[in-house]
Structure 1
């Protein structure tokens, strides 16, 4: 039976800036396995993570030696009436771990906002940013990370693909989607005062409140083998032309599902935004997003389909 998806709490969260959505450890373990070889000798900064609440921090503490990390930094935004954010740094020193276990955290001078001078200074010292940033500040967050040319792996809403600031970087090949998408991300831990929105809201075996969006993805500039796997092309345009209508305002065809991309078409195609989850840059070129030759939304017989990524096949390899 298909599961109903209620994303109203995401809209509410954005409107009211309720951004306390903590990532579950199972989802972190599942995604980080694809990038493990890229952490050796490097400093990881979890810059929107309370050092004791964050499962990202716990993951890197548990795997610090195995990954060969040089340093782990975490800063969290001020909560619970405090005006100061929290700070934690770990270099493998046992005393640092004892302090963390005993809740002996350092307070920042400011509130721990990732844009603050304190946090930007720590950002400059780091190599890889790994976190679940506030969705309401996603554009600013990615812009900040990109301006300092840092590697990163973050969780974002699927709709982030449609943000012009994000798509510009995807189009330029500077960032791309990670492995987990939609239901591959099993849900987020929320504070007790949050309503349990949606039909899949639940309590887990530790009594934590979980909401499942089915509308999130990983966004990164860390490479993985999965990114270089071709999409199998099993359908053809020839003899199935009716399934691939041409746009009114673009010399190209519409493809409703990524799995239906035809193997014998090398012109422009409009595909769903989730195509990016399967995109191999050696197989397809990203040409544009959403607009036809007239600068208006793509149309078929006067009607606009949902957002489309415009792509073109690379030459046969």
Structure 2
């Protein structure tokens, strides 16, 4: 393996190797069809022969009115060539040995079997026999490589499931190049400063279908310690996740749906934090409709966030003042009751000079105040 390929493989966490099911892709992407018309789509973290993102766009190429579809593989992918032998691909037949690092560029998907519809058989035929479609990459296929960044510059929209361990460099790269995108990730990404800052500035937001249990295909040697989170179907191993969310800067209808509010503020029900001038709201559904100052809400609020209704002020990890300024160390504890350091989180008074820490909070306020 070449040095840059070894580095690429090492930089990817083995836990990154999970692959999105076509049904989940279809369920999300149907909300963005108008965005794809006449656009160049890049799947820059997807083996073209295995990725369901590539399959979705290839099968729907004409239906979506795409201008071009580009997909790249990377060195060290554990699934490269599993579904379609790379030695049978016209554009790779002169490349020995097959490195599994290539790009696919499609500008048309003809109905080669003349059955009146574009399906996977047409896509497979195109990949096998058109030498202009599949082209070996000179580099390692890493999305940060000059070769892949050049493809990024050509693209209009990036759609993929990127390596989650590299999300801190992936999202900023897309934004720095002014690209639109729809990517799958972990809900906890919102706690990263690099990601939260973009959400706060309305340059990034949640997609349409977030949370719930999603099953991902994983390599057979992928370690899954919890039995209930794995299954094998037709010899293929799957792993379930409950925090998978879509992140995008493509507008969609859900983003403008106001959150229905029914509660009214009272100081007894909504205590003010000890170490920051905002009130604690422990459930998103209980945001008071008549409170026009700052409120701390659970991170799950971001899935319901509408910029037409709320303004994001910041997050507790950045806004909370040290508790040492307000109480002795033995007088404050974490949400679980354990004594912890008093920085980076909000605390609420619980009587007798004691204070209880709460979990990560997003600080918000109503855009136009509340009801009198």
What is the TM-score with the length of structure 1 in the denominator?
0.89
Q: Given the alignment of the two structures, is residue 137 of structure 1 paired with residue 162 of structure 2, yes or no?
A: no
1:262 matched to 2:288? yes
8 Å Cα contact 1:84-1:112 kept in structure 2:
no
Tell me whether 149-158 or 259-268 shows the greater mean CA deviation: 259-268
**Is the contact between residue 78 and residue 86 of structure 1 (CA under 8 Å) also seen in structure 2?**
no
Match of 1:100 among 109, 119, 127: 127
Aligned 8 A contact 1:83 1:110 in 2 = no
Tell me by how many angstroms 1:207 deviates.
3.2
Which structure is higher in RCO with an 8 Å CA cutoff and minimum separation 6?
1
Matching residue of 1:152: 181
1:299 matches 2:347: yes
8 Å contact kept, 1:289–1:309? yes
User: How far is the alpha carbon of 1:16 from its aligned partner?
Assistant: 4.6
SS at match of 2:296: strand
The aligned counterpart of 1:89 is 105
Query: Matched residue of 1:60: which SS?
Result: helix
Q: How does 1:99-248 map to 2 (within 5 A)?
A: 99-100=126-127, 105-183=134-212, 186-198=214-226, 199-204=228-233, 206-238=234-266, 241-248=267-274
Measured in 2, the distance between the counterparts of 1:22 and 1:80 equals 11
Q: Are the aligned partners of 2:299 and 2:361 in contact in 1 as well (CA < 8 Å)? A: yes
Give the total of aligned pairs. 301
Could you say what the CA RMSD is over the residues aligned between the two structures, in angstroms? 2.3
Q: What are structure 1's unaligned runs of at least 5 residues?
A: 1-13
Query: Match of 1:36?
Result: 33
**Aligned counterparts of 1:155 and 1:129: Cα–Cα separation in 2:** 11
Partners of 1:80 and 1:41 in 2: how far apart? 30
- Judging changes above 3 Å, is the alpha-carbon distance between structure 1 residues 141 and 298 closer, same or farther for their aligned structure 2 residues? same
Please, which runs of 5 or more residues in structure 2 have no aligned partner? Answer: 1-10, 79-97, 113-121, 323-342, 350-354
Runs of 4+ in 1 over 2 A off after TM superposition: 14-18, 79-84, 93-99, 101-106, 195-198, 291-297, 301-304
Normalising to structure 2: TM-score of the pair?
Answer: 0.76
Taking a change above 3 Å as real, the CA distance of residues 93 and 188 of structure 1, as seen in their structure-2 partners, is closer
2:315 equivalent in structure 1: 289
Rounded to whole Å, the distance in 1 between the matches of 2:365 and 2:225 is: 40
Aligned to 2:3: none
For the residues of structure 2 that align with 1:58 and 1:180, how far apart are their CA atoms?
20
Distance in 2 between residues matched to 1:103 and 1:130, nearest whole Å: 24
Distance in 2 between the 1:314 and 1:112 partners?
A: 44
